[in-house]
């Protein structure tokens, strides 16, 4: 006998090995709610026992917060890649070396499709539409290869439920499965179906910018950047070919496009040229990084302190306008994550309302519109657990706000031209700026 | 009404009721019943008992019902194989349906039914679908080939589906191309050596064209496939990069990361002074930054990959420090990764900013994160010298907060700072000592004890401090115990007068009262040292310590290179070699970055890059655990210790006893025992004492062949032999597998002596010494005839060439394949195993020329069944030149006959173990193909003799 024969053992040196070499991406999908109930499973190859999810539950417990569950979990024979969306964990089981991003992107697409089909992606809607969910999953993935993930193609294969259709189906016995091959499926423009017709032809674009920023105690910007997206709602008949141009395209040096955009023309002429999908879609996203000057619309003066003795503290927050480009700041909300020992807050707001939740330790001050004549202020005392030591960590402030009719980066759409069709569409552009992850340190 | 109605059950028994409904005459009722079955399936209920009833519903015109039945079939066919056969007819019929949607659906579902009996029926419909007029059907069929291959690989090959699949790469529809590529890559992964995805400039061009037009998922498949291609030159490399760059702006992050992989790999080939190189570097930064604004799960995977990219090419992201700043609501797994990258990017230019951030993080809520932040401050101090002072004062501020875990982390890192900058910051020791009592974690206690011991002369009450630890000596962890032992010995050597009692106490605690062998051993060593030679003790214990390096957690360069080639995969997320993710060594091919054209920058030896496809990669023995048993058989004595002729026979005996005994003890099930034995130091020590110097016994081995006189008998009429062909060196043991030791080598027979020519390269970061080698038993008893002569230590990046003489008198055991040789190499780091194959010509002895008469008689005597015929193609030599060449490798031509323009050469070969091989070679003038007939009493060698013929004649 050969003494050096390699045995069939699966575990060597504590390394976990995988069973086969087949590159099937997603073997199985489990949907698990926040309470830990597994309420849907789908297998694409052979049935994998749901006991594999025990490893997930273990990690879930360890993470305490659902957001902190690591996205890739290793088990002796599988990998579990999961995302957490709308209070549902989408747990996929994979068995071989596949790009994890591929799987994560796919799971996001699944969640988006549910949202798109059922209006919201929740346990109830999924359970209510379980057969459609199953048909959709089957249509989206074949042997681990994504098949149809474009919503308009899916909708031709499997019709989304509507109250009317459900009733008609029950009465007439017709089905919600398309009988013909979707037209867009194999053309070079898979995102658009043929023969679209509208009586009112319209195209709307929303430029939405979110400011991600960290300000330090003194109000200096530690870090700031803008995440922008252009959402489109295009309802145009036929095969329109659109060109969108900007007043100041030079602002955009880091962009991601919807597959319909012709990248070559963007590179050479800095215009966005595309045949649009039908309906709502995200045309592009962009990122204006920390190096460029990012305007900060508000400033926050704050003082939160805890006394060494007496189990109490003080809080004093004032918000004022900074660079608002002459627009009004609306929907202003300040959120403070208090240390665990803070029991209650006795405060006085000059504007808006405040609420302190002693369970989650979150203080929310809903200000509303920012009045630059009379700055909103929140002031008062905090009471702590008696006997507890002065908290070590500094609470951190989160700002939410909204500014209509302004893209804070200064991005402006110049014009939208349409080729290929004769009619005159109605066109519109809207701008809005919001706070993203806008944090003030104390 | 919603689907939740399908979940309601009645008392009567659900299955029973469903059965009745499934067999109902009403179409609508049937469909509702199938929906209920599916709903049960989604929540994991076993409804396989309904199989025949559901399958009965399959023949229907209603597409939705058909789809639902198919869904059911895929889930349960495997558990009901006999029933599943019932479905075949419908499948075959559906594959002919005029509606392409139904054709595709049928072929797709059939492929998912993993039942052997059904597979056979699938072939014909699949063949039709692969050539279907509708691209949707073709694209579905392409994936089906991969599915079928998973079930029955042989069938797929026999049916010629692989060729059809290859043809689909040239399909007019990009989606078909993408799926064909995906299917082929999947199949190729289970056949690492098959040339399935033959990537050449033409196919690459087709792929690049399809890349622009196919779906996002298809783009990922194509990009991953492109990453396996090695361009011919920098120009091709650049043109591929140019065509891949637009993918960096894709909305799908998986596409972006796959594109980054291709670019990172091909960039390696571009000359650095090229303008395009700089442009490309600049283009890589924005997409990576964008990935960080995606959902947290995506961010996590991106960050793990950025960690690799930053190590390989720090210049890409050096200005982007700020995007890695941590937001308080990032999930913890994102926070920790960001912190890691911040430290990697820290430099003199941005250190102030980084430190301010880290200080901020140290006051956060999450304990793990705070700890890592404190540790990071220490790493900054070690990395950027100019910042050290600021870091130390920041750490002191943090210690003042008195938060327990912050203090402990701070002390651990301050210890490292002391080691990096000796005699600079010791003034803070007093502050540290104040916190002695609050330390409750072993690592922090050990660090503090180290500091006290190291600076005992500056701490007035060092003895008191250490004594206080001694009280609960047995409750401490080993780490602390060891540190305490050393620290007190240090203290004693520095202040001998006051501390004699203390040192006595600790030595007796360590040696007499402890049952930890490590602690005991160290105690005894100190004791012996102190009692015999205190001066030597001082030199040993208080020796100057080497400075610690700046970056302690860098990934080893060879692993980093491999991981860069695997960006975006699980391997890159875990920072582990991809071989750790697949079972066994099958299918693991190490990917290397390509060498830059025309520059000597590449660290690779030329052999590696150019080892042609003809040479199979060496069969590396995969996992170490299984082989640990054999560690015991390795000659553990370093080469210098083997002194020849010291009672060789006895030592041989001892060796055999040891080896044999353990063999029978462990048998082939060594995997159960292996771990234990390898891990136990006492066992290792015990065996180390018995160095079986087997090679020494064979010191005078070369004269094996015997009749050297025959060497000079150069057959009449034949010219001077041209010398034996020696194959170029190939890599046998990649550095990845051997902690940085790379071994490449070849075999040669020179003047009757068999030699193994080795090149040992040190690709690790530390010096390697104490090399030794040993072979496993093999078919022809090959064994080293002397020790491995590597007398000087092998420093990093150094290569040394060694020739190891071999004898053929070692133990014999038949191997598979016959010429397989398993080798163990030891150095100061570990023992490594690899296997290689030697050409059989190595064993052709010089006196292998047979007498003509004997030849004739033997030829007749060997039964015809033992005759094997081979074709040697494409040889452009005449018969004389050929026999001349062969004689160089000890294949002797005994006679030559010419019949009708055909030369017949009669040849003989003798192996070291006295096996004769007889051959007849027919050469037709003008025909480059020779016919070779080999006769031998041991027919299994014929195949290998033929290989030698081919090798010799072609080179």
Residue B668 — very low, low, confident or very high, per pLDDT cuts 50/70/90?
Answer: very low
- DSSP state at residue B252: -
Residue A334 — very low, low, confident or very high, per pLDDT cuts 50/70/90?
Answer: very high
Q: What's the pLDDT tens digit per position in B528-570?
A: 888 888 888 888 888 877 777 666 677 888 888 888 888 888 8
CB A435 within 8 A of CB A210: yes
Task: Report d(CA B506, CA B854) in Å as an integer.
Answer: 81
Residue A353 — very low, low, confident or very high, per pLDDT cuts 50/70/90?
Answer: very high
Candidates B182, B263, B168; CA nearest to B219 is: B182
Q: What's the pLDDT tens digit per position in B836-868?
A: 888 888 888 888 888 887 888 788 888 888 888
Say which of B27, B289, B584 has its CB closest to residue A173: B27
Residue B267: pLDDT over 80:
yes
Q: What's the pLDDT tens digit per position in A45-74?
A: 777 888 889 999 999 998 888 888 999 998
CB contact under 8 A, A393 and B364: yes
Residue A90 — very low, low, confident or very high, per pLDDT cuts 50/70/90?
Answer: very high
Mean pLDDT across B639-645: 38
- Considering chain B, what percentage of its residues have pLDDT values greater than 90? 9
Candidates B904, B894, B899; CA nearest to B856 is: B894
Q: Tokens at residue A161, please?
A: 């439920």
CB contact under 8 A, A99 and B185: no
pLDDT of residue A15: 31
Q: Which residues contact B744 (CB under 8 A, 6 or more apart)?
A: B605, B607, B608, B729, B730, B731, B732, B733, B758, B759, B761
Question: Highest mean pLDDT range out of A145-159, A194-208, B802-816?
Answer: A194-208
Residue A167 — very low, low, confident or very high, per pLDDT cuts 50/70/90?
Answer: low
pLDDT of residue B256: 94
Who wins on pLDDT, B789 or B308?
Answer: B308
Residue A177: pLDDT over 90:
no
Contacts of A394 in chain B (CB under 8 A): 363
Candidates A195, A123, A122; CA nearest to A152 is: A195
Q: Which residues contact A51 (CB under 8 A, 6 or more apart)?
A: none
Contacts of B293 in chain A (CB under 8 A): 212, 225, 227, 287
Residue B716: pLDDT over 80:
no
Task: Report d(CA A154, CA A117) in Å as an integer.
Answer: 10
Residue A383: pLDDT over 70:
yes
Q: What's the pLDDT tens digit per position in B568-612?
A: 888 888 888 877 665 433 444 566 677 665 444 433 444 433 433
Q: Tokens at residue B55, please?
A: 């399958």
The alpha-carbon gap from A144 to the nearest alpha carbon of chain B, in Å, equals: 10
Q: What's the pLDDT tens digit per position in B756-765?
A: 888 888 888 7
Candidates B833, B827, B692; CA nearest to B770 is: B827
Question: Highest mean pLDDT range out of A319-328, B185-194, B430-439?
Answer: A319-328
Nearest Cα residue in chain A from B176: A186
pLDDT of residue B434: 84
Q: To 5 degrees, how large is the angle CA A183–CA A119–CA A172?
A: 65
Contacts A–B by Cβ distance under 8 A: 320
Q: Which residues contact A11 (CB under 8 A, 6 or more apart)?
A: A17, A76
Q: Tokens at residue A95, please?
A: 């068995």
Q: Taking chain A, what is the end-to-end CA distance rounded to the nearest angstrom?
A: 72
Task: Report d(CA A377, CA A302) in Å as an integer.
Answer: 10
Contacts of A264 in chain B (CB under 8 A): 246
The alpha-carbon gap from B941 to the nearest alpha carbon of chain A, in Å, equals: 19
Say which of A97, A102, A149 has its CB closest to residue B581: A97
pLDDT of residue A76: 82
CB B891 within 8 A of CB B918: no
Contacts of B573 in chain A (CB under 8 A): 72, 100
Residue B54: pLDDT over 50:
yes
Contacts of B213 in chain A (CB under 8 A): 188
Q: What's the pLDDT tens digit per position in A392-411?
A: 777 888 999 999 999 998 89
Please indicate if any CB of chain A lies within 8 Å of the CB of B2. Answer: yes
Distances in whole angstroms, Cα of residue B618 to Cα of each of B560, B588, B590, B948: 22, 11, 11, 18
Q: Give the position of tokens 């030698």.
A: B948
Q: What's the pLDDT tens digit per position in A106-145?
A: 999 999 999 888 888 899 999 888 888 988 888 888 777 7
Residue B317: pLDDT over 80:
yes
Residue A432 — very low, low, confident or very high, per pLDDT cuts 50/70/90?
Answer: very high
CB contact under 8 A, A17 and B365: no
Task: Report d(CA A311, CA A324) in Å as an integer.
Answer: 40
pLDDT of residue A12: 31
ipTM above 0.85, yes or no: no
pLDDT of residue B260: 94
Q: What's the pLDDT tens digit per position in A255-273?
A: 888 888 888 889 889 999 9
Sign of CA dihedral B54, B58, B60, B64: positive
| Chain A interface disruption, residue of B74, B173, B249, most A CBs within 10 A | B249
Contacts of B144 in chain A (CB under 8 A): 143
Say which of B325, B584, B622 has its CB closest to residue A223: B325
Task: Report d(CA B251, CA B257) in Å as an integer.
Answer: 11
Task: Report d(CA B204, CA B186) in Å as an integer.
Answer: 18
pLDDT of residue B703: 38
CB contact under 8 A, A97 and B582: yes
Please indicate if any CB of chain A lies within 8 Å of the CB of B540. Answer: no
pLDDT of residue B698: 37
CB A316 within 8 A of CB A378: yes
The alpha-carbon gap from A331 to the nearest alpha carbon of chain B, in Å, equals: 21
Q: Which residues contact A231 (CB under 8 A, 6 or more apart)?
A: A205, A206, A208, A280, A281, A282, A283
Q: What's the pLDDT tens digit per position in B781-839?
A: 888 888 887 777 888 888 888 888 888 888 887 788 888 888 888 888 888 888 888 88
Q: Tokens at residue A400, please?
A: 């939410």
Contacts of A13 in chain B (CB under 8 A): 623-625
Low-confidence winner among A197-211, A220-234, B512-526, B725-739 (lowest mean pLDDT):
B725-739
Please indicate if any CB of chain A lies within 8 Å of the CB of B674. Answer: no
Mean pLDDT across A321-330: 88
Q: Give the position of tokens 């880091």.
A: A254
pLDDT of residue A171: 53
Mean pLDDT across B499-504: 86
Q: Give the position of tokens 């020494």.
A: B696
Residue A24 — very low, low, confident or very high, per pLDDT cuts 50/70/90?
Answer: low
Distances in whole angstroms, Cα of residue B702 to Cα of each of B649, B707, B776, B865: 18, 12, 20, 36
Mean pLDDT of chain B: 78
pLDDT of residue B614: 38
Contacts of B328 in chain A (CB under 8 A): 337, 396, 439
Say which of B112, B136, B150 has its CB closest to residue A181: B136
Task: Name the pairing type of β-strands B902-910 and A298-306.
Answer: unpaired
Nearest Cα residue in chain A from B672: A9
Task: Report d(CA A217, CA A225) in Å as an integer.
Answer: 19
Q: What's the pLDDT tens digit per position in B398-417?
A: 888 888 888 999 999 998 88
Task: Report d(CA A25, CA B185) in Å as an integer.
Answer: 13
CB contact under 8 A, A145 and B179: yes
Neighbours of B336 (CB within 10 A): 19
Residue A83: pLDDT over 90:
yes
pLDDT of residue A162: 66
Task: Report d(CA A148, CA A153) in Å as an integer.
Answer: 7
Distances in whole angstroms, Cα of residue B912 to Cα of each of B52, B750, B861: 67, 14, 22
CB B285 within 8 A of CB B310: no
pLDDT of residue B839: 86
Residue B115: pLDDT over 90:
no
Low-confidence winner among B74-88, B183-197, B261-275, B870-884 (lowest mean pLDDT):
B183-197
> Strand pairing partners for A362?
A337, A357
pLDDT of residue A134: 85
**pTM: predicted TM-score of the whole model, two decimal places:** 0.66
The alpha-carbon gap from A393 to the nearest alpha carbon of chain B, in Å, equals: 5
Residue B624 — very low, low, confident or very high, per pLDDT cuts 50/70/90?
Answer: very low
Q: Tokens at residue A209, please?
A: 């910018």
Edge-to-edge order in the sheet of strand A241-246:
A272-274, A241-246, A413-419
Half-sphere exposure of B249 (CA within 13 A, CB side): 26
SS3 B810: coil
| Chain B interface disruption, residue of A18, A145, A227, most B CBs within 10 A | A145
- Considering chain A, what percentage of its residues have pLDDT values greater than 90? 34
């Amino acid at each position: 006998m050969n003494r050096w024969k390699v045995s069939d053992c699966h575990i060597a040196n504590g390394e976990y090995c995988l069973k086969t070499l087949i590159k099937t991406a997603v073997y199985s999908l489990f949907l698990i709610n926040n309470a830990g109930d597994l309420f849907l499973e789908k297998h694409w190859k052979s049935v994998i026992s749901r006991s594999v999810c025990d490893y997930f539950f273990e990690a879930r417990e360890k993470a305490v917060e659902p957001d902190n569950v690591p996205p890739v979990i290793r088990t002796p024979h599988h990998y579990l890649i999961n995302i957490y969306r709308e209070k549902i964990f989408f747990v996929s089981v994979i068995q071989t070396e596949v790009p994890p991003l591929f799987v994560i992107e796919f799971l996001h697409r699944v969640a988006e499709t549910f949202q798109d089909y059922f209006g919201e992606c929740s346990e109830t809607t999924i359970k209510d539409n379980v057969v459609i969910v199953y048909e959709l999953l089957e249509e989206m993935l074949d042997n681990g290869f994504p098949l149809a993930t474009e919503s308009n193609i899916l909708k031709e294969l499997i019709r989304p439920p509507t109250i009317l259709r459900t009733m008609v189906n029950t009465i007439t016995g017709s089905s919600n499965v398309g009988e013909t091959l979707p037209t867009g499926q194999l053309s070079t423009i898979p995102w658009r179906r043929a023969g679209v017709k509208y009586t009112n032809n319209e195209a709307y674009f929303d430029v939405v910018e979110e400011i991600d920023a960290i300000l330090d105690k003194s109000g200096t910007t530690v870090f700031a950047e803008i995440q922008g997206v252009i959402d489109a709602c295009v309802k145009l008949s036929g095969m329109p070919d659109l060109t969108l141009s900007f007043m100041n395209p030079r602002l955009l040096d880091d962009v991601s496009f919807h597959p319909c955009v012709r990248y070559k023309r963007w590179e050479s002429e800095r215009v966005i040229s595309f045949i649009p999908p039908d309906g709502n879609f995200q045309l592009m996203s962009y990122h204006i990084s920390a190096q460029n000057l990012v305007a900060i619309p508000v400033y926050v003066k704050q003082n939160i302190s805890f006394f060494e003795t007496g189990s109490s503290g003080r809080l004093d927050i004032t918000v004022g306008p900074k660079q608002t480009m002459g627009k009004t700041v609306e929907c202003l909300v300040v959120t403070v994550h208090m240390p665990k020992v803070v029991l209650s807050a006795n405060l006085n707001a000059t504007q808006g309302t405040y609420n302190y939740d002693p369970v989650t330790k979150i203080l929310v001050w809903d200000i509303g519109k920012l009045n630059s004549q009379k700055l909103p202020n929140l002031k008062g005392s905090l009471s702590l657990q008696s006997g507890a030591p002065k908290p070590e960590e500094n609470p951190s402030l989160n700002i939410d706000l909204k500014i209509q009719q302004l893209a804070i980066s200064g991005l402006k759409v110049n014009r939208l031209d349409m080729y290929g069709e004769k009619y005159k569409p109605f066109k519109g552009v809207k701008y809005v700026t919001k706070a993203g992850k806008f944090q003030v340190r104390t | 009404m919603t689907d939740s109605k399908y979940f309601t059950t009645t008392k009567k028994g659900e299955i029973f009721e469903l059965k009745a409904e499934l067999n109902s005459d009403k179409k609508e009722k049937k469909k509702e019943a199938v929906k209920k079955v599916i709903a049960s399936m989604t929540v994991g209920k076993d409804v396989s008992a309904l199989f025949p009833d559901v399958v009965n519903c399959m023949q229907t015109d209603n597409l939705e019902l058909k789809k639902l039945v198919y869904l059911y079939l895929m889930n349960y066919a495997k558990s009901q194989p006999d029933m599943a056969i019932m479905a075949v007819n419908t499948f075959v019929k559906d594959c002919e349906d005029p509606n392409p949607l139904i054709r595709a659906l049928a072929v797709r579902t059939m492929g998912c039914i993993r039942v052997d009996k059904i597979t056979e029926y699938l072939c014909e419909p699949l063949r039709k679908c692969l050539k279907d007029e509708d691209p949707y059907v073709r694209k579905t069929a392409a994936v089906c080939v991969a599915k079928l291959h998973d079930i029955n690989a042989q069938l797929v090959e026999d049916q010629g589906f692989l060729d059809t699949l290859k043809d689909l790469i040239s399909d007019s529809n990009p989606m078909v191309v993408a799926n064909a590529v995906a299917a082929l890559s999947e199949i190729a992964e289970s056949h690492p050596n098959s040339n399935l995805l033959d990537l050449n400039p033409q196919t690459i061009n087709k792929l690049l064209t399809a890349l622009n037009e196919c779906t996002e998922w298809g783009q990922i498949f194509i990009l991953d496939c492109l990453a396996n291609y090695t361009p011919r030159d920098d120009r091709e490399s650049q043109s591929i990069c140019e065509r891949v760059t637009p993918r960096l702006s894709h909305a799908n992050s998986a596409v972006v990361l796959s594109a980054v992989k291709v670019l990172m790999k091909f960039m390696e080939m571009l000359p650095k002074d090229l303008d395009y190189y700089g442009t490309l570097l600049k283009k890589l930064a924005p997409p990576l930054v964008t990935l960080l604004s995606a959902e947290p799960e995506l961010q996590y995977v991106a960050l793990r990959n950025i960690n690799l990219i930053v190590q390989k090419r720090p210049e890409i992201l050096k200005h982007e420090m700020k995007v890695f700043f941590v937001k308080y609501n990032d999930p913890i797994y994102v926070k920790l990764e960001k912190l890691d990258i911040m430290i990697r990017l820290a430099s003199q230019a941005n250190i102030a900013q980084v430190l301010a951030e880290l200080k901020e993080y140290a006051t956060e809520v999450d304990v793990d994160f705070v700890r890592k932040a404190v540790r990071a401050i220490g790493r900054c101090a070690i990395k950027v010298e100019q910042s050290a002072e600021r870091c130390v004062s920041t750490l002191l501020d943090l210690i003042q907060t008195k938060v327990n875990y912050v203090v402990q982390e701070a002390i651990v890192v301050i210890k490292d700072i002391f080691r990096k900058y000796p005699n600079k910051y010791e003034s803070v020791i007093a502050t540290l000592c104040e916190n002695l009592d609050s330390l409750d974690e072993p690592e922090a206690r050990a660090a503090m004890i180290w500091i006290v011991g190291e600076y005992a002369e500056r701490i007035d009450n060092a003895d008191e401090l250490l004594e206080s630890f001694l009280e609960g000596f047995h409750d401490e962890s080993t780490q602390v115990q060891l540190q305490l032992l050393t620290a007190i010995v240090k203290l004693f050597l520095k202040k001998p007068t006051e501390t004699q009692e203390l040192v006595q106490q600790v030595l007796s605690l360590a040696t007499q009262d402890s049952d930890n062998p490590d602690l005991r051993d160290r105690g005894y060593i100190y004791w012996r040292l102190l009692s015999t030679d205190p001066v030597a003790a001082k030199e040993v214990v208080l020796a100057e310590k080497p400075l610690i390096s700046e970056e302690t957690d860098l990934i080893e360069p060879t692993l980093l290179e491999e991981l860069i080639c695997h960006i975006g995969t699980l391997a890159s997320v875990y920072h582990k070699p991809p071989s750790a993710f697949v079972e066994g060594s099958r299918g693991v091919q190490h990917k290397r970055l390509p060498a830059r054209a025309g520059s000597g920058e590449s660290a690779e030896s030329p052999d590696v890059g150019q080892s042609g496809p003809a040479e199979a990669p060496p069969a590396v023995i995969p996992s170490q655990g299984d082989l640990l048993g054999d560690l015991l058989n390795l000659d553990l004595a370093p080469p210098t210790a083997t002194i020849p002729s010291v009672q060789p026979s006895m030592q041989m005996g001892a060796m055999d006893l040891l080896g044999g005994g353990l063999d029978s003890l462990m048998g082939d099930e060594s995997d159960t025992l292996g771990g234990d034995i390898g891990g136990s130091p006492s066992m290792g020590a015990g065996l180390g004492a018995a160095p079986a110097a087997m090679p020494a016994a064979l010191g005078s081995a070369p004269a094996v062949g015997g009749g050297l006189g025959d060497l000079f008998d150069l057959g009449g009429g034949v010219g001077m032999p041209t010398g034996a062909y020696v194959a170029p060196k190939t890599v046998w043991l990649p550095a990845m597998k051997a902690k940085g030791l790379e071994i490449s080598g070849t075999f040669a027979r020179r003047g009757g002596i068999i030699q193994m020519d080795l090149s040992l390269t040190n690709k690790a970061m530390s010096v390697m010494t104490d090399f030794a080698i040993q072979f496993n038993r093999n078919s022809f008893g090959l064994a080293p005839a002397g020790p491995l002569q590597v007398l000087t230590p092998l420093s990093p990046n150094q290569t040394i060439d060694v020739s190891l003489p071999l004898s053929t008198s070692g133990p014999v055991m038949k191997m598979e394949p016959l010429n397989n040789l398993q080798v163990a190499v030891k150095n100061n780091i570990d023992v490594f195993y690899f296997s290689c194959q030697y050409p059989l010509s190595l064993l052709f002895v010089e006196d292998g020329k047979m007498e003509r008469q004997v030849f004739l008689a033997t030829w007749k005597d060997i039964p015809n069944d033992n005759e094997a015929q081979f074709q040697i193609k494409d040889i452009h030599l005449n018969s004389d030149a050929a026999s001349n060449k062969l004689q160089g490798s000890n294949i002797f031509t005994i006679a030559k006959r010419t019949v009708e323009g055909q030369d017949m050469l009669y040849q003989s070969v003798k192996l070291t173990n006295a096996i004769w091989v007889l051959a007849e070679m027919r050469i037709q003038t003008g025909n480059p193909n020779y016919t070779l007939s080999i006769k031998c009493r041991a027919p299994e060698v014929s195949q290998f003799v033929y290989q030698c013929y081919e090798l010799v004649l072609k080179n």
